[in-house]
Amino acid sequence: MRSLLRPLALLVVPLLALTACGSGDEPDSAAQPGAASSAESGAFPVSIKNKYGTAELKAEPKRVVTVGLVEQDALLALGVVPVGTTEWFGEKPGALFPWAKEKLGDAQVPTVLRDKDGIQFEKIAALAPDLIVGMYSGISADDYQKLTAIAPTVAQPAGVPDYGVAWQDVARTVGQAVGKPRQADELVQGIEQRFATVRAEHPEFKDKPALMATPYEGYFVYGSQDPRSRLLTDLGFRLPSGLDQLLGGKFGGNLSAERITLLDQQALVWFPTKGGTAKLQNDPLYKNLAVRKQGRDVFVEENHDDALYGATSFVSVLSLPIVLDQLVPKLAAAVDGDPATTA
**Alpha carbon distance 203, 208 (integer Å):** 10
Question: Could you tell me which of 271, 215, 212, 200 has the C-alpha nearest to residue 240?
Answer: 212
Give the residues across from 267 on adjacent strands.
210
The per-residue pLDDT for 4 is 55
Contacting residues for 166 by C-beta, under 8 A, at least 6 apart: 160, 227, 230
Q: Is 46 helix (H, G, I), strand (E, B) or coil?
A: strand
Q: Which residues of the chain have pLDDT under 70?
A: 1-37, 304-305, 338-343
Domains of the chain, residue spans? 34-190, 202-334
Q: Give the CATH number of domain 202-334; options: 2.170.190.11, 3.40.50.1980, 3.30.465.10, 3.40.47.10.
A: 3.40.50.1980
CA distance 134 to 163: 10
Class of domain 34-190: alpha beta
pLDDT for 336 equals 86
Contact between residue 92 and residue 101 where contact means Cβ atoms under 8 Å apart: yes
Q: How far apart are CA 121 and CA 280, in angstroms?
A: 40
* Residue range 215-259, pLDDT digits in tens: 988 899 999 989 999 999 999 999 999 999 999 878 889 999 899
d(CA 140, CA 146): 10
Q: Could you tell me whether strands 80-81 and 54-57 are parallel, antiparallel, or unpaired per DSSP bridges?
A: unpaired
What are the tens digits of pLDDT across the range 252-301? 899 998 999 999 999 999 999 888 999 999 999 999 999 999 999 999 99
| 5 closest CA partner among 326, 315, 323, 317 | 315
Nearest Cα residue to 158 out of 145, 177, 139, 171: 139
| Confidence (pLDDT) at 161 | 86
